[in-house]
């Protein structure tokens, strides 16, 4: 930190005033999480916060991901502080879920009186946390700001655009994200835009040594696949087309799918024959087991935004089961490819990428110090 900077002087004066006024209190931040990717991102920032004595964190878990394999195990494995509040809000429509979260988070904010609310990504929990804070004139920090798929049919796209617009700090993982905000006029808004790197890269590098082999027989060569995005699972045509393509590949090389509970329920309703499928469906895995699978697979196939990046972190190519991606730099550099949901495209793209060898040394997502940059920026406010 530049000790002669105006930012440092402002920060120092703020705390001197508090001390002499007899009102010294650490900055209080309230973190809102609710879904698997947010637990991973929050683990990075929470670990950094714990290293400072002048900042206190209160964690609110909305309950959006409630299954033990999608929630509790992440707090246990990654040593994330136990949430002070667990709202248990899940299995509702978008409107009902967001509305109930907004109401309950507002009550917590009025009780806790934080200086800043930290939200992550693009879920209903993200939107509810940001809206509740902003309406109470509490500052909002959005981690993973500036991402755009340019597909307004995605609820995630709506959430991230709204949250970005009302945030005071926009922590962007890539230059592309910064450029998106610049193109939308954020230079003229009362906010700070910072390219800090990707907190998920921090997490991947920090936790990689803790990878754990799942309690199952792992083939020598296999494809790791995840399917959970609503645009795929809520469309019978899309999910059936995806599975058709995957089963054709699965007859040639093992495919392992840790099955999201929601996706599993949908397949049961569609009377999908799990026993006759060549695909290896397993229960959801914890983060350390997921790291192991990413480290040892031959290829990643997914509709998840986070897993697209995690594939790159662990030097694996990725086939995307969507028509667009927020992580355009991975496609532009040839690491990932968009296959969509057409079964022929899926088969062809997987076959093309299965044995591709590439140099993964390009520093697309920072230096694994994003969490430190975020906390230091907040403390300078």
130-147: per-residue pLDDT in tens? 999 999 999 999 999 999
Domain covering 26-198+366-379: architecture:
3-Layer(aba) Sandwich (3.40)
- For β-strands 318-320 and 336-338, DSSP reports them as parallel
- Cβ neighbourhood burial of 57 (10 Å; 0-12, 13-18, 19+): buried
In this model, does residue 79 exceed pLDDT 80?
A: no
**Bridge partners for 30 per DSSP:** 58, 117
Strand order through the sheet with 27-33: 85-86, 55-61, 27-33, 116-120, 139-143, 169-172, 192-195
Provide the mean pLDDT of the chain: 91
pLDDT at residue 77, rounded to an integer: 77
Instruction: Examine the pLDDT at 8 and tell me if it is beyond 50.
Output: no
181 CB-contact burial (10 Å; exposed 0-12 / middle 13-18 / buried 19+): buried
pLDDT at position 24, please? 59
Domain 26-198+366-379 and domain 210-353, same fold? Reply is yes
Query: E-assigned strands of the chain?
Result: 27-33, 55-61, 85-86, 116-120, 139-143, 169-172, 192-195, 223-226, 255-258, 280-282, 299-302, 318-320, 336-338
Band of pLDDT at residue 303, cut at 50, 70 and 90: very high
* Residue 140 to residue 116: CA distance in whole angstroms: 6
Residue pair 203/43 in contact by the 8 Å Cβ criterion? yes
CATH number of 210-353: 3.40.50.2000
Among 65, 228, 260, 280, the one annotated catalytic: 228
- Checking if the pLDDT of 80 tops 70, the result is yes
Write out the two tokens for 261: 């509970």
- Whether 296 sits among the annotated catalytic residues: the reply is no
Question: What is the reported pLDDT for 82?
Answer: 86
Cβ(145)–Cβ(171) under 8 Å?
yes
pTM over 0.85: yes
CA count, 13 A, side-chain hemisphere, 314 = 27
| Mean per-residue pLDDT, 294-309 | 96
Q: So where are the chain's domains?
A: 26-198+366-379, 210-353
pLDDT at 9: 56
Task: Please say whether the beta carbons of 143 and 45 come within 8 A.
Answer: yes
Highest mean pLDDT among 5-14, 83-92, 336-345: 336-345
Given a cut of 60, whether residue 225 has pLDDT beyond it is yes
pLDDT value of position 45: 96
More confident: 177 or 263: 177
DSSP 192: E
């Amino acid at each position: 930190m530049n000790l002669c900077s105006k930012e440092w002087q402002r920060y120092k004066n703020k705390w001197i005033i508090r001390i002499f006024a007899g009102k010294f209190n650490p900055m209080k931040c309230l973190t809102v999480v609710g879904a698997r990717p947010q637990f991973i991102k929050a683990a990075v920032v929470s670990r950094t916060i714990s290293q400072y004595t002048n900042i206190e964190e209160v964690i609110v878990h909305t309950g959006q991901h409630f299954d033990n394999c999608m929630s509790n195990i992440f707090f246990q494995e990654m040593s994330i502080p136990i949430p002070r509040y667990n709202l248990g809000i899940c299995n509702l429509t978008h409107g009902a879920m967001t509305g109930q979260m907004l109401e309950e988070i507002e009550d917590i904010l009025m009780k806790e009186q934080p200086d800043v609310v930290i939200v992550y990504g693009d879920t209903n929990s993200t939107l509810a946390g940001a809206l509740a804070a902003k309406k109470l004139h509490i500052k909002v920090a959005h981690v993973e700001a500036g991402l755009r798929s340019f597909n307004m049919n995605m609820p995630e796209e709506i959430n991230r655009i709204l949250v970005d617009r009302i945030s005071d700090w926009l922590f962007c993982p890539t230059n592309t994200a910064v450029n998106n905000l610049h193109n939308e006029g954020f230079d003229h808004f009362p906010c700070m835009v910072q390219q800090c790197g990707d907190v998920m890269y921090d997490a991947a590098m920090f936790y990689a040594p803790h990878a754990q082999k799942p309690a199952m027989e792992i083939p020598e060569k296999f494809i790791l696949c995840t399917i959970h995005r609503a645009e795929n699972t809520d469309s019978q045509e899309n999910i059936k087309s995806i599975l058709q393509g995957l089963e054709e590949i699965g007859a040639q090389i093992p495919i392992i799918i840790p099955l999201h509970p929601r996706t599993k329920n949908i397949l049961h309703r569609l009377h999908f024959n799990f026993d006759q499928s060549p695909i290896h469906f397993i229960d959801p895995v914890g983060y350390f087991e997921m790291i192991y699978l990413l480290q040892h697979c031959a290829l990643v196939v997914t509709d998840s935004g986070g897993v697209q990046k995690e594939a790159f972190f662990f030097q694996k190519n990725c086939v995307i089961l969507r028509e667009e991606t927020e992580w355009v730099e991975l496609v532009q550099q040839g690491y990932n490819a968009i296959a969509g949901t057409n079964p022929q495209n899926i088969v062809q793209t997987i076959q093309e990428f299965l044995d591709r060898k590439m140099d993964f040394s390009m520093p697309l997502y920072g230096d694994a110090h994003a969490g430190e940059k975020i906390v230091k920026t907040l403390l300078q406010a």
